[in-house]
Chains A and B, each alone.
Chain A
Amino acid sequence: DAGVTQSPTHLIKTRGQQVTLRCSPKSGHDTVSWYQQALGQGPQFIFQYYEEEERQRGNFPDRFSGHQFPNYSSELNVNALLLGDSALYLCASSFVAGGAGTEAFFGQGTRLTVV
């Protein structure tokens, strides 16, 4: 059973460019959350998708957008990249039927470097 998979694993982009990160949730999971983790920091919640809709959003600008597909996979898009967007981007999946307090399963992350 494949866990959460993210692609690509590493990415280098130039300031002002746009980037798309991808996530496939664990089999049986229907909810995907995205987090940004800067070096030496804890993850920061970006947003969460369920039933192809953004359900919750953290304190991130509109440059950060996402999408969830019918197969539950998800994309994170970041426009007009800034140097400060350099971070490890984590995708976490869970399932609604698991009820409250469900553990999250994380992918290995995408390391984005903006130069």
Chain B
Amino acid sequence: SQKIEQNSEALNIQEGKTATLTCNYTNYSPAYLQWYRQDPGRGPVFLLLIRENEKEKRKERLKVTFDTTLKQSLFHITASQPADSATYLCALSNAGNNRKLIWGLGTSLAVNP
């Protein structure tokens, strides 16, 4: 069955450092991979989308890579800030069912001042 794995352990980093989160998947060939941020008790907020034919995408301090051979995406936050503390979720979809998202469990990130 389809499986998505994200860093199971919470990530604690110092302010100003780069946070790197991992999303690995098996038994799936996604056309799209998305990253969302979720704060406690709130709905996920879209951050970035990357297509299967794209290797890398950037938005301000955020960078996402997508390696379909390794079946892995890396999500980087550079110059991290305490306000970046949240749970980050990766979600996959294919071209035919692009609005049915399959989600990882999320990785909790804490940026310490």
Contacts and interface: CB of A to CB of B under 8 A. Distances in A.
B13 interface: no
B105 A42 contact: yes
B35 to A, nearest CB: 10
Contacts of A106: 43-45
Nearest to A88: B41
B105 A41 contact: yes
Contacts of A86: none
Given A42-B104, A100-B31, A56 B44 contact: no
Given A41-B105, A101-B93, A90 B44 contact: yes
A109 interface: yes
Contacts of B11: none
A7 interface: no
A31 B101 CA distance: 13
Nearest to A47: B100
A22 B49 CA distance: 27
B95 A43 contact: no
Contacts of B97: 56
Interface in A5-49: 31, 33, 35, 40-45, 48
Contacts of B31: 100-101
A101 B105 contact: no
B103 A101 contact: no
Contacts of B100: 33, 45, 48, 56, 58
Contacts of A92: 43, 101
Interface in B94-113: 95, 97-106
Given A31-B99, A45-B102, A108-B42, 13 more contacts: A33-B101, A42-B91, A42-B105, A43-B103, A45-B101, A48-B99, A48-B100, A90-B44, A91-B43, A102-B98, A102-B99, A104-B101, A108-B43
Q: Which 6 A-B pairs have the closest CB atoms?
A: A106-B43, A42-B103, A103-B46, A101-B32, A100-B98, A42-B105
